[in-house]
Chains A and B, each alone.
Chain A
Amino acid sequence: MKIFSEIGSYLILLKNVFHLPENPRLYRKKVLFELRVLSLDSLPIIAVISIFVGAAIVIQLAANLSNPIYPRWITGFSSREGIMLEFAPTMINLVLAGKIGSHIASEIGTMRITEQIDALDVMGVNSASYLILPKIIACVLFSPVVIVVSIFLALTGGWLAGTLTGVISSYDFIDGLQLDYTNKSLIISLVKGLVYSFIISSIPAYRGYTVKGGALEVGRSSTKAVVESCITLIVANLIITNLLL
Chain B
Amino acid sequence: MIEIKKLYKSFGDKTVLNNINAVFETGKTNLTIGRSGSGKTVLMKTMVGLETINSGQILFDGKDMVSMSKKERHLLRESIGMVFQNGALFDSMNVADNVRFPLRMFTNMTAGEMDKRVDFCLDRVNLGNVHTFTTSELSGGMRKRVAIARAIVTNPKYLFCDEPNSGLDPQTSILIDNLIKEITEEYNITTVVNTHDMNSVMGIGEHIIFIHQGNLWWEGTRNEITNTTNQELNDFMFNNELTKLLKASVLEKTVK
Question: Do chains A and B stick together as partners?
Answer: yes
Provide the residues of chain A in CB contact with B50, threshold 8 Å.
118, 121-122
Contact B106 A115 (CB under 8 A): no
Contact B49 A122 (CB under 8 A): yes
Question: In the complex, what residue of chain A is closest to B162 when comparing beta carbons?
Answer: A115
List 5 other contacts, CB 8 Å, given A111-B91, A123-B78.
A114-B91, A115-B84, A118-B84, A122-B48, A124-B75
Question: In the complex, what residue of chain B is closest to A33 when comparing beta carbons?
Answer: B92
Residues of chain A in range 110-144 having any CB-CB distance to chain B below 8 Å: 110-111, 114-116, 118-119, 121-125
A5 at the interface (CB under 8 A from B): no
Contact B88 A123 (CB under 8 A): no
Range class of the B interface residue count? 20 to 34
Nearest CB in chain B: distance from A218 CB, A:
13
Contact B80 A116 (CB under 8 A): no
Provide the residues of chain B in CB contact with A114, threshold 8 Å.
86, 88, 91
Question: In the complex, what residue of chain A is closest to B80 when comparing beta carbons?
Answer: A122
Contact B88 A125 (CB under 8 A): no
Contact A116 B90 (CB under 8 A): yes
Name 23 interchain pairs, CB-CB below 8 A, sorted by A.
A22-B105, A23-B106, A26-B104, A110-B91, A114-B91, A115-B84, A115-B85, A115-B86, A115-B88, A116-B90, A116-B91, A118-B45, A118-B50, A118-B84, A118-B88, A122-B50, A123-B77, A123-B78, A123-B102, A123-B105, A124-B74, A124-B80, A124-B106
Provide the residues of chain B in CB contact with A115, threshold 8 Å.
84-86, 88
Provide the residues of chain A in CB contact with B106, threshold 8 Å.
22-23, 123-124
Nearest CB in chain B: distance from A77 CB, A:
48
Per-residue CB contact flags for chain B residues 102-118 toward chain A (1 = under 8 Å, else 0) read: 10111000000000000
Contact B49 A121 (CB under 8 A): yes
B99 at the interface (CB under 8 A from A): no
Question: In the complex, what residue of chain A is closest to B76 when comparing beta carbons?
Answer: A124
Provide the residues of chain A in CB contact with B105, threshold 8 Å.
22-23, 26, 123, 125
